[in-house]
Structure 1
Amino acid sequence: MGGMTRQSSEEAAAKAGVVIRELHEIDEFRAVYRLFDHIWHPDPHNAPVSVELMIGFAHTGNYVAGAFDGSTLVGASVGFLAAGRTLHSHVTGAAQTARGIGYALKLHQRDWCRERGLKRITWTFDPLVRRNARFNLVKLGAMPEAYLEDFYGAMADAINEGDVSDRLLAVWQVTPEDHGPDEAPVEALPVLLASEGERPVIRGVHGDRLLVGTPRDIEALRRTDPAAAKEWRTAVRTTLGGLMSGGARVVGFTGRGEYVIAVN
């Protein structure tokens, strides 16, 4: 499925009401640290990225950028160069997700990569977080290429605490092929993993294409029903993770919140 990536980074930033630029000063890196602390509330020993690492990344030609509303930092992204002419986007966060700041940051990141002749951007995301899957697959047009079990180990922060850190590796081509979304009625495909009363149900279905569902709001479910949240983690690992380890590919994401899997 194609993503909505034709908008320029400047247009996206203007729509979000921000100016995005690379960061170089220690006070800027400290502001990023405080912003990420506000978003994730991590354990002090488990911060997403330290000030020292941001200084080192920026000094050695990696990607450290911030989105500013006037003089106030409202979003930031940190990434580092990886093998295969790739930027690995380690962490991106915005104080107000509804404004489109994260989208503007990703487009700025894509332009930064194009200017340096890079071919793709990778990052990880929790396969259970439906809004992130929709943003990555539908809005941007990135596609998952690997299911990574407990990738970061235990994560002591307000969002992930109490859950294992399974992740999908998203791959976003810097210069994507010009193709639109799949117009097939994917919602009519067999549903391998469904949601019934906020709990996952694995069905014995088969086909060349299958649907793997996600919880409506896993972060809320972790607080209100931790047992159900753990059931979802196990069910998605078993279905989505099992299919991908066997060579199946994620090719889209439905409006109902399901991964579209091409088995063959």
Structure 2
Amino acid sequence: MNHHDIRELHSMAEFESVCRLYADIWGPEPGAEPVSAEIMRALSHAGNYVAGAYTDGRLTGATVAFFGEPAGTTLHSHITGAVMGGGIGLALKLHQRQWVLDRGLKRITWTYDPLIRRNAHFNLTKLGARPEEYLESFYGAMDDAINGGDESDRVLTAWDLTVPLSAAGHDGVPLPAGAAHAVRDVDGRPELTSTEAEFVLVDLPDDIEALRRTDPAAARAWRLAVRETLGGLLADGARVLGFHDRRSYVVRRFPATSTHLPTGSNQ
């Protein structure tokens, strides 16, 4: 594995390099980068976290984060982007984790698209973070190369830094006895099932980004299925236990939560 030099960024030239990297990753139109160099400059100067990963002297990843609520406990990581492979994303998150711990904070939050399997596996299995809240169309419609015009549903995810790092490399949480599917992948499309099980499984598609390009109707069906089930469960107070077999969210209902899926709309 390559060695990555992770360091905080402070100069406009560094922030402009981050803008170019993000444009390569997200492919936005000129002037529509996910975050501007000026905003990164302001956040960094105010004491927030802007860091880059360098591999053989070349910028290969970057992350932008700012302090959030509850004050004095939380850093909110707004955006992290890295070239694929080489462990850059993990190296950035571990650097961010240490930066937060050095300042006496206890957790890092961020949002991600709950339909992207590799992100769910990375966040839940490799890091041990857990989704806490489903945010419907958080950024509105996003027409960049990754989001492909889909509604920008996100899950707010929290990484509790008081818990030891999870062991990387395992395949996620085991399947609880009696677990039942609320969403199952059937030939690439979601099949919803009403279930009263305490432990609920929500499958994800193989590659939602490819599906948005090749079969937008199927991609839309997945968005609505996961919004209704995972979103409804989280709104009702259920808790995500982890990710199973790189495929399924494992969610635990508690007695106060509703007993039927599909749940209808969530707040």
User: Is this a same-fold pair by TM over 0.5?
Assistant: yes
Match of 1:33 among 8, 19, 36: 19
Q: Check whether the contact 2:40–2:50 (CA below 8 A) recurs between aligned residues.
A: yes
Corresponding letter in the other structure for 1:229: A
Matched, 1:87 2:87: no
Selected match of 1:73 from 49, 59, 62: 59
Compared CA separation, residues 57 and 218, structure 1 to 2 (3 A): same
Q: Secondary structure at the match of 1:44?
A: coil
Q: Deviations over 1:40-72 (max 9, x none)?
A: 012335321100000001101000001111321
Q: Does 1:127 align with 2:117?
A: no
Distance, in Å, in 2 between the alignment partners of 1:31 and 1:213 is 37
Mapped partners of 1:172, 1:183: distance in 2: 16
Correspondent of 2:243 among 245, 250, 253 = 253
Q: Which residue of 2 aligns with 1:52?
A: 38
Larger % of helix: which? 1
Query: Match of 2:103?
Result: 116
Pairing partner for 1:234 from 200, 224, 227: 224
| Residue 16 (structure 1) shift | 3.7
The alpha carbon displacement at 1:197 in A equals 0.9
Whole-angstrom distance in 1 between the partners of 2:128 and 2:143: 30
Q: Percent identity?
A: 53
Matched, 1:99 2:86: yes
RMSD value over aligned CA atoms?
1.8
CA contact (8 A) 1:121 1:173 kept: yes
User: Which residue of structure 2 aligns with residue 7 of structure 1?
Assistant: none
| 1:112 partner amino acid | W
> Where does residue 201 of structure 1 map in the other structure?
191
Instruction: Work out which structure has the larger RCO, using CA pairs closer than 8 Å and 6 or more positions apart in sequence.
Output: 1
- Out of 205, 213, 225, the residue aligned to residue 223 of structure 1 is 213
Return the offset for 1:231. 0.3
Which residue number in structure 1 is paired with residue 264 of structure 2?
A: none
Distance 1:80 1:179 in 2: 24
Measure how far apart 1:186 and its partner are: 3.3
Instruction: Please give the alpha-carbon distance, in whole angstroms, between the structure 2 residues aligned to 1:175 and 1:196.
Output: 39
Q: Summarize deviations over 1:61-117 as a string: whole Å, max 9, x none.
A: 00000111132111111101112221110111112x221000000000000001111
Q: Are the equivalent residues in 1 in contact too, given 2:148–2:213 (CA < 8 A)?
A: no
Within the candidate set 63, 68, 78, 2:49 is matched to: 63
Could you state the TM-score of these two structures normalised by the residue count of structure 2?
0.89
One-letter amino acid of the counterpart of residue 135, structure 1: F
**Distance of 1:168 and 1:153 partners within structure 2:** 14
| Residues 157 and 178 of structure 1, relative CA distance in 2, 3 Å threshold | closer
Paired AA for residue 42 in structure 1:
P
- Alignment size in residue pairs: 249
The 8 Å contact of residues 173 and 244 in structure 2, kept in 1 or not, is answered as no
Contact 1:46/1:156 (8 A) holds in 2: no
